[in-house]
Structure 1
């Protein structure tokens, strides 16, 4: 069994090791590090939460799991030695506290010991400008979903799932042939051949409402090839328009939950973010459901659409109130 004292050197060695051996089998890597495959999987699950302090795209290490193999798709600068500033130490402490509350991922005692050491080294520095929010914590249901998906991949089984599509605000039922599990920019995805769409699709694990492993084998067609995610799930491309939003302090977690390309601190704890969107109705719903905590600076059509939808909702509310009073 691996102790916490041996784990940190192993984690630091894993990144260059995996970069030099893309697609290596997990059991082979485990033999090289003299640990069990189960322990190495735990190390990898901790590793994908590591990287440069910060909360924008490209801060965290990205891993690609394909069956029993693993590759590093982005190393987040872990080849370089780092000296932490006060702001970086504070951001690291926040990440570690969130990690300690993620069920079934790491040895919580080891994380708490690391927190104590960093607190002792960094003193009482509490710089502003660190984004803190709900997006850092993984629900127990998502962790269970990952375990079920891993089992299906190992057994080579197809899946039935009920999935929430945020871009269209709909819930659909699909039968899919799983291909691999991915962790991209700190978010877990299943890449699978979707029989309904007849193409390869990415499914966020935290948006899978129900999941059933089927008796039939997984059989993606030969044309089903993994997506190139070297530039992220939503790479910059002319076809994806941009929006500029201002987040109130209570809505800063949006900057973690959704991929943002630029972040700028404003007065009063507000945050200006630039993000890309593929669907106009999704953007309008995102702003509306936060009740004034998110405002639109660009594009103008989105700001006008939000004002119109909000006015229509208020008019319906007044009508209901008048009917009730009468």
Structure 2
């Protein structure tokens, strides 16, 4: 059931919105909670909190004084002010609706929960065909993001418990400058008050709900580029262009950096710092050989030999057995009254704009169960204009699966988006963008309107004539939602692939025709060579920095998921299908069945997060032990090699043997 606060707020909105204006004294008499408050001061405090909640919801609550008696204060919902209510085309609304689904609303916090409901209050109908073809995005969903984004908007500091690379949790007091996505993960960059220096924090390592602190005192830099800040951590005076030899159609990300052809056996990377180049090469070491600089080549031999030696024989498990299990951080994710209220208003607005709505469809649109929706409708049923008596309550019915709402005209309006909610939508758009294809122009126009809405909200005065809370500039929002790979355009070589995929997706989904199928060359990460497959695309999905294509595959005889950046080319329809040769060396196909234990040094902690470790333990030696369940074999082997010795597999033994074989093979290639 709804909290008492939600019912009171809804009654206040209905009472003020049902008339041209209402004076403060009468409002306090007709709203039961104000009238029954223990004192006039208590009612005043309650009303001030309610005003802030109504404004945060996006309703333009205005205050004015009587021209004759200035002690008389009136309140009204200012219908002339639209705030950041967006004027969207059907196509723009559709891609924004898809962007709102990029967040896991159950875990992400208030901004993510509110934004989808507010979009529904606009009264648009989505284009079902475009919605089917729009990529399904996935943004890392964390409950700590909303207070961090709000701190950027309001210019305040936050306090939270943070577990850094050294493993021990500490309390940090930070003035956030920018909250953004890099390589599919959220980071906070700002001023660390205790250390009196700029610092970067990975949001997934924050172990307490950020508490609001005092106003920020350190001037915010005019330009803050999160990618540059994170890139500088791997900077070095030792910089050079690396010369590589690579297997055809492999090491695709390195080929993109070099602008090299897919079949080129030798190419040169642009000048990079030595640590950054080493990490990139180790991640693809199964397919590449570093030819120069010579000193880097010698280092590669040392690193790979060390990894192999560290995995030879059986692992010593004594430290693992004595390590202490780390408790899972418990961060509140309970919906707040503002989240529930925005959903109630949006549900009423949605039904009022259509006359009636199907119960199941409305519940699905709001992202809740039918039972939750009926509970919401029961709340609407007991609320209304308190100034006219109980006969003017909202009428809601849901008999026979059809929802109707009457006597709720004040709720028939679009809810404006706050700067924080706009930022959440921009991040969702960034998740869709790499695979948007033909919808890219629609994504860009929707982004432009979001940014314009943010600028409009910045100029909008508060209800008492004062300045509204500061919202980020367009540049700041763009920087906050630009990801290293996720928001970047797909590489040039993939444009043809994307165009072919979108043409197939536009074909009739119920008709299995030649137009709905394409023939592709696919370069898998777990085996040498490539395969040729005839597939029928079904949908595009994004997960962090990666985009995937779900399709029916004739060669596999079933549904398969393909990484879009590994579809190297589209072939003529008559090209024969083929599988890659098994090749030499250990097979890295499929998953490691059962439990995998890793020992991680600070520089390797990212592996536990990337593979969603089921359990973490803190060892007395300062290391972290991570338990993974059924991880994909090839990506895990690549990650252990990429860590350059900061990660070691303890079990199972067969996986340790695989890493020895791969690392020894890489060292031998660089020793010739």
TM-score by length of 2: 0.28
Q: 2 CA distance for matches of 1:288 and 1:47?
A: 36
Q: Deviations over 1:144-177 (max 9, x none)?
A: 5556423321135211222222244553221111
1:296 to 625, 630, 649: 649
Aligned to 1:182: 541
Is the alpha carbon distance of 1:159 and 1:67 closer, same or farther for their aligned partners in structure 2, counting shifts above 3 Å? farther
Q: 1 CA distance for matches of 2:142 and 2:655?
A: 39
Q: 1 CA distance for matches of 2:540 and 2:628?
A: 25
Q: How does 1:203-218 map to 2 (within 5 A)?
A: 203-211=562-570
Aligned to 1:140: 490
Q: 2 CA distance for matches of 1:69 and 1:37?
A: 11
Q: 2 CA distance for matches of 1:135 and 1:255?
A: 21
2:506 to 121, 141, 154: 154
Higher strand share: 1
Q: 2 CA distance for matches of 1:297 and 1:137?
A: 36
Is the alpha carbon distance of 1:177 and 1:308 closer, same or farther for their aligned partners in structure 2, counting shifts above 3 Å? closer
Contact 1:180 1:191 survives alignment (8 Å): yes
1:93 to 170, 179, 187: 179
* SS of 1:140 mapped into structure 2: coil
Q: 2 CA distance for matches of 1:271 and 1:190?
A: 35
Aligned to 1:229: none
Q: How many residues align?
A: 245
Q: 1 CA distance for matches of 2:98 and 2:572?
A: 23
Q: 2 CA distance for matches of 1:191 and 1:48?
A: 18
Contact 1:161 1:174 survives alignment (8 Å): yes
Q: Deviations over 1:217-268 (max 9, x none)?
A: xxxxxxxxxxxxxxxxx9xx9x842323355666665566x54244759799
Aligned to 1:42: 95
Q: 1 CA distance for matches of 2:91 and 2:573?
A: 25
Give the superposition deviation at 1:203. Answer: 1.3
Aligned to 1:173: 532
Aligned to 1:194: 553
Contact 2:95 2:131 survives alignment (8 Å): no
* SS of 2:530 mapped into structure 1: strand
Contact 1:175 1:194 survives alignment (8 Å): yes
Q: How does 1:240-319 map to 2 (within 5 A)?
A: 240-246=593-599, 254=607, 258-262=610-614, 264=616, 273-277=626-630, 280=633, 283-311=636-664, 313-314=666-667, 317-318=670-671
Q: 2 CA distance for matches of 1:270 and 1:158?
A: 50
Q: How does 1:61-76 map to 2 (within 5 A)?
A: 68-69=130-131
Q: Larger relative CO (CA 8 A, sep 6+): 1 or 2?
A: 2
Q: Deviations over 1:18-55 (max 9, x none)?
A: xxxxxxxxxxxxxxx9732320243145324434459x
Give the superposition deviation at 1:181. Answer: 2.6
Contact 2:548 2:561 survives alignment (8 Å): yes
RMSD: 5.7
* SS of 2:505 mapped into structure 1: helix
* SS of 1:182 mapped into structure 2: strand
* SS of 2:180 mapped into structure 1: helix
Q: 2 CA distance for matches of 1:198 and 1:249?
A: 43
